[in-house]
Amino acid sequence: MLKYLKKYRKWCLLAPIMMMGEIFMDLLQPHLMAKIVDDGVLGGDMRLILTVGIRMILLVLFGGLCGILSGVFANLAAQNYANDLRKDLFAKIMHLSFEQIDKISTGSLVTRLTNDVTQVQQMVHMSIRMVVRSGLMFLGGIFMLYQQSPRFALVAAVALPLIVAAAAVFLRLATPLFGVVQARLDGVNNVMQENVAGARVVKAYVKEEHELSRFDLASDLLCSTNLRVATILAFLSPIINVILNACVIAVIGIGGKSVEEGVLLRPGAIMAAITYLSMLLMGLMSMIMVSQTFTRALASSKRIREVLGEPDLIRGGGFDGDTGEKTGEVELKNVSFSYPSSGGKKVLDGVNLTVRKGETVAVLGSTGSGKSTLVNLIPRFYDVTEGEVLVDGVNVREYDLKALREKIAIVTQKAELYCRPIEANIRWGKDGADPWEIKRAAEVAQADDFICAAPDGYYTQVSEGGHSLSGGQKQRIALSRAVLKDAEIMIFDDSTSALDLSTEAKLYRALEETRPDTTKIIIAQRIASVRGADRIAVLDNGRVAACGTHDELMQSSPVYRDIYFSQLKEDEQ
């Protein structure tokens, strides 16, 4: 994923350069302080103290400026990197098939888009800034320590492998847990999302305590895993501090022994050596802390790459959809379909059905007979297992996906509305639609009356999920969106279930008047909703059991008669 940094290589270069300036200033400070102590304080030279002190202040200001610029440049690179990565990841999610989304889960996709990207962003920031800082402080500390006395450098050489060994042991124990932490976070997000989306069901069935228990369990698992990681890493810092303090003691001891041996070491030199040793070991400790961030970010990076690397299961062909004439004919030839997770069990088996231009065909059947699955194959939400689906005589696999779906307006079982004005929800059907077109579409969908009665009319804000509207109102807004699209093919997937029969009849009558040449496929549960259709296809166990008009089916289809008699009273027949 380093390709995302190429655009920001200028900031990636400037940030380390500025950091080098800051570290160089930091490394000069102990040397100048030693000069003040040894030559100024002990030598009684106040002018030197003043001169060197002013120089130290100026160097600190310059180093501070370099540090600020380094932070700015590093943030410019890391934030823009994360922004580009997040956009590409979201774009990839938008192109995943329903099968792929179900496999990964929505909660996990949310985690990967937010928390995982943030982890990788922090890794990039630390790579540009903290790695350079820690590395230069470590190497510079060794060099400056050696300048004071080779014996002091020997102390650091002894301490170095001890610190590296301790870090290696604890990071090796913690590394596998970072992936588990992210998976636990997925679990929390999944429970949260389900309960926010299904809040009304939870309250209706008084399942608050049950869902609280589910969330508590998911949160406890996340907490316990985080605590395991924190407990392992908690040992690391004290161990390094013990080694650091032991090194300070060793430096002081070496300084005292050198005086006994007649090797004159000034107090300022010993002070500088202790400071350099602290800088060296703290630089090493910072590198270890950075490695923790790297380890966690690598786990997140793997999860992001899993999504970015998902193949495009539904690939468009090269056909642009121009058949020379708008017909909207749909044909299913020997279509069979099995969901990937069904173990090969066929939902549809050998379905043959043709819907001609301007025809209204209803698909009726018992629950689980494959009605919704059938219409989902037309816009290629799924691909057939066997057979082929043709639109205007062309296999849907050959269409460019955008061209295919522009031919189709579909209203699903659940009316999906967004937190924006009613007008904007309807406008989704056609970019650039003028207010008159939106109003006309709403009139056809029998939505104009209740919209005009709303506080702000068409500009009334819809609450999240459309909870401020009734089921019938939501369906009519979704239907308005489909009408506005003015597509060749309209698919209503049980999308009038919340409408009364009178309103439903007015809707279909208005569609016939305003869209006579549009092909209409209606999925319905009620015979009363579809008895006026040109033809009715009866699905039974994934097969077309019969197809004809209402009167023909009453004569020839036992399945249709069973459904009819189960829905209508004797005196209504």
More confident: 321 or 238: 238
The average pLDDT across 17-23 equals 86
How confident is the model at residue 37, as a pLDDT?
Answer: 76
More confident: 326 or 540: 540
In a domain, 257, yes or no: yes
In a domain, 572, yes or no: yes
pTM score of the predicted model: 0.74
pLDDT digits (tens, 9 = 90+) for 29-52: 877 777 777 676 766 677 888 888
Regarding whether 229 and 358 lie in a shared domain, the answer is no
Regarding whether 280 and 387 lie in a shared domain, the answer is no
Regarding whether 331 and 304 lie in a shared domain, the answer is no
Regarding whether 161 and 19 lie in a shared domain, the answer is yes
More confident: 262 or 483: 483
Among residues 254, 274, 308, the one where a domain terminates is 308
Banded pLDDT at 161 (limits 50, 70, 90): confident
Among residues 308, 339, 357, the one where a domain terminates is 308
Banded pLDDT at 490 (limits 50, 70, 90): very high
More confident: 6 or 135: 6
How confident is the model at residue 316, as a pLDDT?
Answer: 79
Q: What is the 3-state secondary structure (H, E, C) of 450-484?
A: HHHHCCCHHHCECCHHHCCCCHHHHHHHHHHHHHH
More confident: 92 or 284: 92
In a domain, 161, yes or no: yes
Q: Which residues pair with 411 in a beta bridge?
A: 492
pLDDT digits (tens, 9 = 90+) for 554-568: 888 888 888 888 876
How confident is the model at residue 61, as a pLDDT?
Answer: 92
- What lies within 8 Å, CB to CB, of 559 at 6+ separation is 538, 540, 545, 546
Q: What total number of domains does the chain contain? A: 2
Banded pLDDT at 361 (limits 50, 70, 90): very high
Regarding whether 213 and 138 lie in a shared domain, the answer is yes
Regarding whether 254 and 149 lie in a shared domain, the answer is yes
Regarding whether 338 and 232 lie in a shared domain, the answer is no
In a domain, 427, yes or no: no
Helix (H) or strand (E) holding 137: helix 130-148
Regarding whether 291 and 390 lie in a shared domain, the answer is no
More confident: 141 or 439: 439
More confident: 256 or 21: 21
The average pLDDT across 112-133 equals 86
The average pLDDT across 253-272 equals 66
More confident: 331 or 38: 331
The answer on pLDDT for 569 being more than 60 is: no
pLDDT digits (tens, 9 = 90+) for 419-442: 889 999 999 888 888 889 999 999
Banded pLDDT at 90 (limits 50, 70, 90): very high
Contact at 8 Å (CB) between 477 and 415? yes
Query: Tell me, what CATH number does 148's domain have?
Result: 1.20.1560.10
The answer on pLDDT for 85 being more than 90 is: yes
Could you tell me which of 287, 250, 238 has the C-alpha nearest to residue 153?
A: 250
The average pLDDT across 183-187 equals 86
In a domain, 464, yes or no: no
Banded pLDDT at 265 (limits 50, 70, 90): low
Banded pLDDT at 570 (limits 50, 70, 90): very low
pLDDT digits (tens, 9 = 90+) for 407-417: 999 998 888 88
The average pLDDT across 382-387 equals 90
How confident is the model at residue 476, as a pLDDT?
Answer: 92
Banded pLDDT at 117 (limits 50, 70, 90): very high
Regarding whether 333 and 296 lie in a shared domain, the answer is no
The answer on pLDDT for 273 being more than 80 is: no
In a domain, 157, yes or no: yes
In a domain, 167, yes or no: yes
pLDDT digits (tens, 9 = 90+) for 213-230: 888 998 999 899 889 888
In a domain, 331, yes or no: yes
Q: Which residue has the tokens 């999944």?
A: 190
The answer on pLDDT for 388 being more than 90 is: yes
CA 86-92-93 angle, to 5 degrees, is 90
Regarding whether 345 and 285 lie in a shared domain, the answer is no
Banded pLDDT at 211 (limits 50, 70, 90): confident
d(CA 145, CA 29): 13
Mean pLDDT value across the chain = 84
The answer on pLDDT for 487 being more than 80 is: yes
d(CA 28, CA 61): 13
Q: Residue 543: which domain range?
A: 327-407+519-573
How confident is the model at residue 573, as a pLDDT?
Answer: 44
Regarding whether 334 and 299 lie in a shared domain, the answer is no
Query: Tell me, what CATH number does 556's domain have?
Result: 3.40.50.300
Torsion angle defined by CA atoms of residues 558, 563, 568 and 573, in that order, rounded to the nearest 10 degrees: -20
The average pLDDT across 120-146 equals 80
Alpha-helix residue ranges (DSSP H) falling in 261-370: 267-308
Regarding whether 291 and 180 lie in a shared domain, the answer is yes
How confident is the model at residue 258, as a pLDDT?
Answer: 67
pLDDT digits (tens, 9 = 90+) for 194-203: 887 777 778 7
d(CA 443, CA 451): 10
φ/ψ (deg, to 5) at 520 = -125, 125
